[in-house]
Copies of this chain bind each other. A is one copy, B any other.
Amino acid sequence: MTKDGLSVTMADVAKAAGVSRALVSIVVRGVPGASEETRERVRRIAAELGYVPDQRAQALRAQAPRAIGVAFQAVQPFHAALVDGIYQTCEPLGYQVVLSAITSAHGEAAAISSLQSNRCGAIIDLSARLAPKTLAQVASRIPVIVVARAVRAEGVEYVCSDDERGLKQAVEHLSGLGHRAICFCSSADSGGGPERLRGYRTAMKAAGMAADVVETGSTEESGYETGLSLLARESLPTAVIGFNDNCAAGVQTALKEAGIKVPDEVSLLGIDDTGIAAAPYHQFTSVRQDVAWLGKTASLRAIARLEGTDGHRRAHIIPTTLTIRSSTAPPRR
C-alpha cells in the first residue's frame, strides 16, 4: 500500500531497508558495490513496496539523452508495423521509445513539440506533412528522420522505399506476362505518390507502351470508384495497378460486381503487400515494402545522429520486392 497515493521512491526503500539511498541505487542497477546479502534484502523490500525507478528523474540526471521520439498516426496499420520495428531496434540498444500520436485533436506540430519537451535526442516522424521550412527549424535543434516521404529540407534525413523502382518491377512483371494495356491508379498527394507515378511512366515508356493514368486516392473506397470509372470505358485495360492494396481491393470489388474475373479477364496488382494482399480471397501480386527494414534503418539513423557518431545524410532508399500471387496472369487472347 502506498502512502497517500504518492509513488514509492528510492528513499522509501532505503529507509525501510535501513540503508542509504546510494546503496539502493547500486542494487537496483545491479552494479558492483554491495554484498550479496544486502542485495537480496534490498531487492526484496523494493519488490514488497512496489518500487519502480522514476525514468524522468533518471533522464534528468543523465548527461546525454537516451530517448527516441516517434510521431505517428494511430489509424495507419503501416505506422503500427513501423512502431513495432522501432521498439525492436531501440529497446535492446538501451534507448527508450517515446510516442506521440498525430490525431485530429493533436496535430503533427503538437506531437513534435511534445517530443521536444520530453527531451528526446532524436525524432522519427512517420507522417511528415509540415512545411519543409518548419521541419528544418526543428531539425536545427534535434535530428529529424522522416519515414516514407521524400522531404527535401535542411538537416532532415528521410528513409523511404524505392517506390520508383517498385513500379518498374510491377510494370516489368506485367509486360513479361504479355500485357500491353496497363493502367495505373495514381494518388499524387499520398506518400510516395510522385515517385510511384514517375516509376510507372518511365517503365511504360521503356517498354514501348502508352501510359494510362487514373487519379484516385489511397482508400478502398476510392479504388471502388476508380473501378467503376474503368468499367464505364469502351474497353477495359488488361491489367490494373492499384495505388496500394486498399485501392486494389476496391477496384477488385467493383470488377467482381460487374462479373469481371481476376485474373482471367483483368490482372490486378497492389502495392505495400499488406495483410489485405495476402488475404485468401484477394491474393494480390503486390510490391512489397520492407517495413521492418524501414523501421530499423530509421531507428539506427536516429541513434547515430543522437550519438553524433555519424554525420548527416540526406536519403536512405530501401529496395522493394515483388510478391507474386494469383491476381496476375497472362492476358486473354
Contact = CB atoms under 8 A, between A and B. Distances in A.
A127 interface: no
Nearest to A221: B279
Given A77-B75, A221-B280, A308 B5 contact: yes
A153 to B, nearest CB: 16
A113 interface: yes
B140 A1 contact: yes
Interface stretch (A97-105, A199-207, A234-242): A97-105
Interface in A245-259: 250, 253-254, 256-257
Given A105-B91, A281-B253, A119 B56 contact: yes
A57 interface: yes
A323 interface: no
| Most chain B CB within a 10 A radius of its CB, from A53, A55, A74, A84 | A74
A83 B87 CA distance: 19
Interface in A90-122: 91, 96-97, 99-101, 103-106, 113-114, 116-119
A87 B103 contact: yes
A116 B56 contact: no
Contacts of A141: 2, 7-8, 50
A60 B117 CA distance: 13
A54 interface: yes
Given A56-B56, A72-B74, A281 B224 contact: yes
A84 B104 contact: yes
A54 B225 CA distance: 48
A80 interface: yes
A117 B55 contact: yes
A56 B279 contact: no
A20 interface: no
A200 to B, nearest CB: 26
Given A2-B141, A74-B84, A140-B1, A56 B99 contact: no
A332 B148 CA distance: 50
A155 to B, nearest CB: 11
Contacts of A257: 281
A107 to B, nearest CB: 10
A214 interface: no
Contact of A105 (B88, B113, B137, B279): B88
15 contacts: A8-B141, A52-B116, A55-B114, A55-B118, A56-B119, A72-B74, A73-B80, A74-B74, A74-B84, A75-B77, A75-B81, A84-B105, A96-B114, A221-B280, A224-B281
Interface of A: 1-2, 5, 7-8, 50, 52-57, 59-60, 65, 72-75, 77, 79-81, 83-84, 87-88, 91, 96-97, 99-101, 103-106, 113-114, 116-119, 137, 140-142, 220-221, 224, 250, 253-254, 256-257, 279-281, 308
Given A5-B308, A87-B106, 16 more contacts: A2-B141, A7-B116, A7-B141, A7-B142, A54-B60, A55-B114, A55-B118, A56-B119, A73-B80, A74-B80, A80-B101, A88-B105, A99-B99, A224-B279, A250-B281, A254-B281
